[in-house]
Amino acid sequence: MTGTAQHGGERDGEPAEAPAQAPEAPRPRSFMRDVAGTVAGNLASPLIGIITAPVLAQALGVTGRGEFAAITAPTLLLTLAATVGLPEAATYFVASARMHTRVALRQVVMMSIGIGVLMAGLLFLLAPVISSGEPEVTQLIAYGGLSLPGALAVGAIRGVAAGRNRWGLVNGEKYLNNGARLVLVVVFALSGVLTLPVATAVYLGCPILGGLVYVRFLRRLRAEPSTAPTPNASGLLLRYGTKTWAGGLSGIIVARIDQVLMAPLVGARELGLYAAAVAIGEIPFVVSSATREVITAADAKDRDDRRAEQAARLTLLATACVSAGLALVAPYLVRLAFGEEFAEATPMLQLLLLAAVLNTPGSTLGAILLARNRPGLRSAALAIACVINVALIFVLVPVFGGVGAAVVSCVTYAVMSVLCLLFARHLFGLSVLRMVVPRPSDVRDVVSFVRARRAR
C-alpha cells in the first residue's frame, strides 16, 4: 500500500510548517540505485579496515593493538555521540523543504563546532580515568579530542548534503577518508614509523580530511539566492535533533561502549581480539546503514509505505546473505587477515555477524520513524536496548570476555528490532510479514536493476 505524500505534521511535538524552498530536483535515479551507491561507499570503511587491521596488528602487536583501540574508541564514540542529532535534523528539514538549505547549514555547522570544543575539553579531563593509568595512552586520548570540532562539522555538512540528495558527495567523502587512511597506514608501516601516536593521528585526522569533497558544494550554496531567515531555526533543529540524538546516543553506546569498557574489565589482549572481530563483523552493517541513510531522506520527501516495506525486507535478506557467507569462512578469514595469534577471535566474529542480521529490521524501520517525524519512538527503542546492553556487558564480559560482548550485541539488536517493528505496524499500518519476508517481485526488481546497470 502506498501512503499519501505527507509528513508527520505535529507528531512528536514538531509543528508543521510551509516549505521553506523547493527541494533540489535530484537527477533521475532509482531508490535502489541510491542504496547501491551508498552500500559501496559504506563498504570502504570495513574493507579498508580489513586491509589495515593486520598491518596495525603486526606493527603494534596484540597489546599495542588493544591500546590503540583504547585510545581511539573514546574519540570515535564522541564523534558519533556528540552530534546532538544535528546531521539527522539537517537531513529531515532540507529533504522535506521545511528550511532553506543555507539556513540549516549555517546553524548545524556553528552548533557542531561549539559542541566539539566542549567535548574536547571533557575528553581531556576524562583521559586519566579511561586510560587504565598508562601515561602514553592518557596523553594520546587527550590529544585525540582535538579532532572533535572538525569531525563534527564535517558530519553536519554531510547531513545537509544528504538532504539535498547529493549521495555522490556523501560517498566521495567516505572514499577520501578511508583511501587516505589506507595509504598513510601502509606508507608509515613500510617506513617503520607506524607507532601508537602516528596511528592515532592517521585514524582521527582522516575523517576531517574527507570533508574536502564538500568544498564545491558549499561554494554553490553560497551562490544561491538569499532568503528570509527561518524563525527560530536553531530551536527547530535542536528540538528534532535532540529527540533523534537520544536514540542515536543509545545506538552509538550499543555499538562502541563494549570496546571502551573491555580494557578495564578484561585487559588489552582480549580487547585486541575483539577489535579484530569487529573489523570484519562491521561489513554486513554497511547494507542496513546505507538503506537507513537513503530511506530517511527519501521518505521524508515522499512517504511511500510500499517502498518502506520492500526496503526493510530486501535489506534483511541482503544482510543475512552477506553475514552467512562471512560466517562460513570466518575461521580462515581471521587467520588470513590477522595471523594465527588472533584465531580466538573467530567465535566472536561469528556472533557479531548474527548480531548484524538481528539489527537490520530495527535500523530500517528506525529510519522510517525519523522520516515520518517520530524520532522520539525510535529513541525509546534504542534507549531500552542500550540499558539492556550496558547491564549485560558488566554481567557477561568479565566472565566470557569478547564472546560475552558479542552475545550482548545479539540480544541488544534483537530487542531494538522487535520494538521498531511493533511501532511501524501500530503507527503506519505496515505489515510485519511484508517487512521481513522477501517476495517474488523483489527478485524481479533486483534483477531488473542489475540488468539496467550492466546495460549502461
Model pLDDT for residues 366-392, shown as the tens digit of each residue = 999 988 888 889 989 999 999 999 999
Q: Are 230 and 101 in contact (CB under 8 A)?
A: no
Q: Are 309 and 434 in contact (CB under 8 A)?
A: yes
Contacts of residue 254, defined as CB under 8 A and 6 or more positions apart, other chains included, come to 382, 385, 386, 389, 409, 412, 413, 416
Q: Are 70 and 200 in contact (CB under 8 A)?
A: no
Residue 9: is its pLDDT beyond 60?
Answer: no
E strands present in 187-267: none
Highest mean pLDDT out of 100-114, 260-274, 300-314: 100-114
Residue 27: is its pLDDT beyond 70?
Answer: no
Contacts of residue 253, defined as CB under 8 A and 6 or more positions apart, other chains included, come to 77, 81, 386, 389, 390
| Cα separation, 122 vs 119, whole angstroms | 5
Q: Are 125 and 134 in contact (CB under 8 A)?
A: no
pLDDT for res 175:
93
| Cα separation, 385 vs 391, whole angstroms | 10
| Cα separation, 297 vs 222, whole angstroms | 22
Q: Give the mean model confidence (pLDDT) for residues 147-152.
A: 94
**Start-to-end C-alpha separation, the chain:** 31
Q: Are 104 and 93 in contact (CB under 8 A)?
A: yes
Could you identify the residue written with the cell 598508562? Answer: 134
- Residue 174 CA: distances (Å) to CA of 55, 165, 169, 211, 226: 21, 16, 9, 9, 30
Residue 240: closest CA among 95, 399, 141: 95
Amino acid at 24: E
Summarize pLDDT for 272-290 with one digit per residue, the tens: 889 889 988 988 988 888 8
Handedness of CA 345, 347, 348, 349 (dihedral sign): positive
- Residue 158 CA: distances (Å) to CA of 94, 95, 116: 12, 13, 16
Supply the pTM of this predicted model: 0.74
Looking at every residue in the chain, the average pLDDT score rounds to 84
Percent of the chain residues past pLDDT 70, beyond the cut: 91
Side-chain half-sphere exposure of 448, counting CA atoms within 13 A: 8
Residue 182: is its pLDDT beyond 90?
Answer: yes
| Cα separation, 17 vs 92, whole angstroms | 13
| Cα separation, 160 vs 101, whole angstroms | 7
Summarize pLDDT for 405-439 with one digit per residue, the tens: 999 999 999 999 999 999 999 989 888 888 888 88
Tell me the three cell numbers of residue 32: 535502489
Residue 245: closest CA among 22, 442, 85, 29: 85
Residue 163: is its pLDDT beyond 60?
Answer: yes
Residue 291: closest CA among 240, 370, 355, 365: 365
Give the pLDDT band (50/70/90) at residue 24.
very low
Domain residue limits, the chain:
27-455
Task: Give me the DSSP letters along 75-123.
Answer: HHHHHHHTTTTHHHHHHHHHHTTSS-HHHHHHHHHHHHHHHHHHHHHHH
Choice among 63-77, 83-97, 351-365 with the minimum mean pLDDT:
63-77
Q: Are 14 and 8 in contact (CB under 8 A)?
A: yes
Choice between 301 and 188, residue whose per-residue pLDDT is larger = 188
Handedness of CA 321, 324, 329, 331 (dihedral sign): positive
pLDDT for res 153:
96
